[in-house]
Structure 1
């Protein structure tokens, strides 16, 4: 029996993966911030006869302290983890500053992924098969936005939710590059995956009329979660041999491009380490 840890595991693709693996006899640890959604997932697991293999961890991963604590808690309960799916994300129309002083989208979308990947690395390396981290992110095709190296949390410019989100997607590509470079001797594979436009619950955080427009577009153009989940699961079930790989809707992506520059990845890692070290002291 494998242990699959999924952030954003109560919504969209994360929930779809959780239910798929519970049906398949695996153990699932789903992380989410909404206890009601967590309860519904556990109820569904019970109906599937998988109640004993389902675990919901309530966690606001926009908190650095909570992200660290959750990684430690899961590692303590599960000495071996076979797969970590990094899918937690929330679209914030306005700037939100966390109690720790971070811009919330950056904290949730970037910092938490770094902390969970590093915090669960020991458990991943002890997996019986080939351990894998799969990050739902940009995979190099993000034309909008840019890495604002002198202002990664967009504190000195007007807040633009799309711009902040696009930088987060680019940063998550670089997190994969950094991880693969720093842990090249390890067994854990890192997969970058862009599922394309998928009909999920993301529209709940949008303001009108954007919420209605996005829902209408999703009804026409978006793939369903049921269609989006199988290619993701295929990569989790049989991880690529390369330490780092990228895919767009199941199709391989060439990583020999500027968006995956090792120098930029190292620069981001240094910046995050500095931020997190200052946070730890403060």
Structure 2
């Protein structure tokens, strides 16, 4: 049976590796990315391999809610069911940027887009035999959540923004399960470790040099993607689970506090105007 996988950040790194793996297996893959040229290159590669009819590319800047919501609408219009939603897109910013819609870029791209996609596509996942959302965000972190300044208007730092984003995604998973007690969808948080990805972002020259050093000693992309395919192919039986590479993490710690998840869920709904 052919399954359908929706993969954000699917033109580079882990997302691209997963997209290629599932196309090679004969599955249908929808890749979401901001770079139209990379999207065309992926479609061309799929065409050369004989998978053109199963490969789809949606261009979207996921830091913009309007484009994220458009992705949800396009997928709903084109598919009656999807089997997996894989959230890989991430973009680092050394300097703080406010989007035209008024949100801090990292907060919008790394957290809000994943919230909208998770909840927006949940109904398409429910009919699948083993539906799963896999959120690649580095679960179980200990970075503080700046509740009074979620978008870091004061003392912005790119690493702080990403670290808080990881925490917010942990709470997104908890709130998803809490808000949908009867759901069949398994929500899996995954931390791939340091991987030789594209490291998409806006860096200072000094940080860019550090990134190149990290990339040389990082895990190969296909190794990280293979670990993820095991979780997608056989999702955990629990509604919420978290992994550091292939090692299970407890979801009972402070990073997954239900009260915090409900607080963030309510705040997010306010921000989205829902």
TM range (shorter): over 0.9
Distance 2:247 2:48 in 1: 34
Match of 2:149 in 1: 151
1:203 is displaced (CA, Å) by: 5.6
Match of 1:106 in 2: 107
Q: Aligned to 2:62, what secondary structure does the other structure show? A: coil
Match of 1:178 among 151, 175, 178: 175
1:211 aligns with 2:246: no
Q: Aligned to 1:84, what secondary structure does the other structure show? A: strand
Match of 2:93 in 1: 92
1:182-235: CA deviations, max 9, x gaps? 112111110000000001111653221221222112212x10101101110111
5 Å-filtered alignment, 1:28-177, equals 28-127=29-128, 129-140=129-140, 142-143=141-142, 145-155=143-153, 157-177=154-174
Tell me: CA distance 1:118–1:203, structure 2 relative to 1, closer, same or farther (3 Å): closer
2:8·2:87 contact (CA, 8 Å) conserved in 1? yes
Match of 1:271 in 2: 267
1:27 aligns with 2:23: no
After superposing on structure 2, the runs of 4+ consecutive aligned residues of structure 1 that deviate more than 6 Å are none
1:91-118: CA deviations, max 9, x gaps? 0111111111000110010000000111
1:145-198: CA deviations, max 9, x gaps? 31111110011x121111111000100011001101111211111000000000
1:84·1:134 contact (CA, 8 Å) conserved in 2? yes
2:92·2:106 contact (CA, 8 Å) conserved in 1? yes
Q: Aligned to 1:28, what secondary structure does the other structure show? A: strand
Question: Normalising by the residue count of structure 1, what TM-score does the alignment of the two structures yield?
Answer: 0.94
Match of 1:201 in 2: 198
Distance 1:146 1:243 in 2: 25
1:1-37: CA deviations, max 9, x gaps? 0000001111110000000000000000000000111
1:105·1:164 contact (CA, 8 Å) conserved in 2? yes
Q: Aligned to 2:268, what secondary structure does the other structure show? A: helix
Structure 2 unaligned regions, length at least 5? none
5 Å-filtered alignment, 1:213-228, equals 213-220=210-217, 222-228=218-224
1:123 is displaced (CA, Å) by: 0.5
Distance 1:110 1:232 in 2: 20
Structure 1 unaligned regions, length at least 5? none
Question: Normalising by the residue count of structure 2, what TM-score does the alignment of the two structures yield?
Answer: 0.97
2:93·2:202 contact (CA, 8 Å) conserved in 1? yes
Distance 1:166 1:209 in 2: 20
Deviates more, 1:158-167 or 1:206-215: 206-215
Distance 2:94 2:36 in 1: 23
Q: Aligned to 2:93, what secondary structure does the other structure show? A: coil
Distance 2:181 2:265 in 1: 15
